[in-house]
Structure 1
Amino acid sequence: MFMMALPWLLVLELVLYAGCFICGVIAAAWMTQTQGHFDGQCILYGSVLYNVSGESLILEGSSSSICYFVSAIAVCMAIYCFSLILYWIYASCVDENVRRGTGSLNTSIGVCGLLLFFLLVSGCILKIGRDSLCSSVLHNVPSISSCEDGENITWASPYNGNQFYKGLNNTERSLWVSFFFWVLITAVVIIQRRQSSRLKVWGNDEWSRAETEPFLHRPSRA
C-alpha cells in the first residue's frame, strides 16, 4: 500500500537502497569473518611465508586498520540505506501525497557523491590489497597455480585460511555492486531534482499569471 503513495522514481530509489543494504551487510559479514579467521588481523597487503618443515603458511606484515575501514564503510552504508527505507515507509503512511523538496534532493545528491567516493576507495583498497597478498602467496608457496589454491594449504595456528580468497573476493564484489547501485541512485535523484525544478518554475509561472490577470484583463466589447 505504501508504494501507491510514493512516486515511481522514489520507489525505484528505495529498491536500489534495499540492494545497497544487502550488499553492505554481505560485505561487512565476509570481511569480519575473514578477519576473524586470522585472529583479528587483516590479511590485505600482508605477506605470506611458507614453512617447509611444517608445510604451512605464515602471515606477516598485516594491518587491522585497513579491514576496519572497509567494514565501517559497508556498515555505515547499510545503516543509512535501512534508515531511509524506514523513513519513507513511515512518511507514506502518514502523508498520502509524499513530495521531496529541492533542499532534500540536493542533500541526497551530496550524500550520494560522498558514498560513491568512499566505496571507490574501499573497492580499490580491496583490489590492490588482495592482489598484493596473492602475489606473495604465488611467489612463496610452491606447486600452486592460483591464489585460490592457497585455501587448500594448512595455515599456521591460530590462522584458518580455508576461505581467505573467497572472503576477500565476495567482499570486493559486494562493494562494487553497491557502487553500481549508487551510480543508479545518483541518476534517479538527479532526475527527480530536475523534475522538481521544472514543477517549481511552472508553479511560479502559473502563480504570476493568476496575480497579474486581474490587472491586465480587459472587458470585452459588447
Structure 2
Amino acid sequence: MALPRLLLLELALHACCFICGIITAASVTLSQGDFSGKCLLYGSVRSNASEIDLSWSSATSLCYFVSGISVCVAIFCFCTILYWVYMICMDGEVERERISMTFSLLVSGLFLFFLLVTGCILKVGRDKLCESVLNTVSNITRCEEAQTKTWKSPLIGSSFYSKLHSAEMALWVNLIIWIIVVVLVVVQRRWGSQYNAREVDPGASPSETEPFFKQPGHPN
C-alpha cells in the first residue's frame, strides 16, 4: 500500500526530529556529567596559573528543562511513527481525519513554542559561559580553545563547548523541521479531511476481485 506522499514526507521529518531531540538531550546531559551534575548554562569560571574551575553554575533544573523538552519531542515523534506503521501493517488502510490533523497542529504549535524557548536558553546560556571563559582564561581567543586547558578535578572540560554547541545546533534544526511539519499538515488539512489507500493484490485477476454474488439485473 502506498502512503500519501505528503504524509510519507511528514513521517520522515518526524524521524529527523526524533534524532535531533536525542542529540540535544544527550549532549546537555553529558555536559552535566562532565561537570559533576552542574548546569553550565549561564555559568562562570575562575582561573589561576594552572587550571580552570567553575565558580558558578545555574540550577540543574534549567538543564533538566532543556533535556526534558527534547525528550518529549523525541517520544512524540517516535510514537507518531509507530502509530502510522501500525495503521499500515495491521489495518491495511491509511485514514487521516480532519480532527487528527487539527490535533497535530496544536501539538506542533506547542512544541514550536517550547523549542524556541529552549533554543534561546541554550544560545544565551552558552554565550554567557563563553564570555566568562574569554574574560577569565588567558591566552585564548575563542571559547572552544578552553577545552585544551586543564580543568580542576573532577571537572572534565575537554569537550564542554562541543557538546553545548551540538545541543544548540540540533535544537535549531529540530525547530526548523517542525515548522516544515506544520506547513505539511496545513496543506494536507486543506486538501481534504481524509486520505484513503487500500491494498490491492497486483497478481489478482479481475474475476477474483469481483463479488461472489452478483446483483441480479433489473427487469426492463
Pair in the same fold by TM > 0.5: yes
Aligned length: 194
Distance 1:198 1:23, change over 3 A: closer
Match of 1:118 in 2: 114
Between the aligned partners of 1:43 and 1:106, the Cα distance in structure 2 is 38
Match of 2:169 in 1: 173
Q: CA RMSD in A?
A: 1.3
- Structure 1, unmatched stretches of 5+, are 200-222
Deviation of the 1:60 alpha carbon: 2.1
Contact 1:105/1:193 (<8 A) preserved: yes
Match of 2:160 in 1: 164
Deviation of the 1:29 alpha carbon: 1.1
Q: Could you list the structure 1 runs, at least 4 aligned residues long, displaced by more than 2 angstroms after superposition.
A: 94-97
Match of 2:83, SS state, is helix
Contact 1:24/1:74 (<8 A) preserved: yes
Deviation of the 1:65 alpha carbon: 1.3
Deviation of the 1:105 alpha carbon: 0.5
Between the aligned partners of 2:84 and 2:153, the Cα distance in structure 1 is 49
Distance 1:197 1:79, change over 3 A: closer
Alignment of 1:22-61 (within 5 A): 22-52=19-49, 55-61=50-56
Between the aligned partners of 1:144 and 1:5, the Cα distance in structure 2 is 56
Calculate the TM-score normalised by the size of structure 1. Answer: 0.85
Match of 1:142 in 2: 138
Match of 1:89 in 2: 85
Match of 1:107, SS state, is helix
Between the aligned partners of 2:79 and 2:100, the Cα distance in structure 1 is 15
Picking from 99, 117, 138, the partner of 1:103 is 99
Contact 1:148/1:165 (<8 A) preserved: yes
Give CA deviations for 1:92-121 in whole Å, capped at 9, x if unaligned. Answer: 112333121111100000000000011111
Deviation of the 1:197 alpha carbon: 5.0
Aligned amino acid, residue 153 of structure 1: K
Between the aligned partners of 1:50 and 1:10, the Cα distance in structure 2 is 54
Match of 2:147, SS state, is helix
Match of 2:7 in 1: 10
Contact 2:96/2:194 (<8 A) preserved: no
Contact 1:5/1:92 (<8 A) preserved: no
Contact 1:5/1:98 (<8 A) preserved: no
Match of 1:62, SS state, is strand
Contact 2:144/2:161 (<8 A) preserved: yes
Deviation of the 1:198 alpha carbon: 9.8
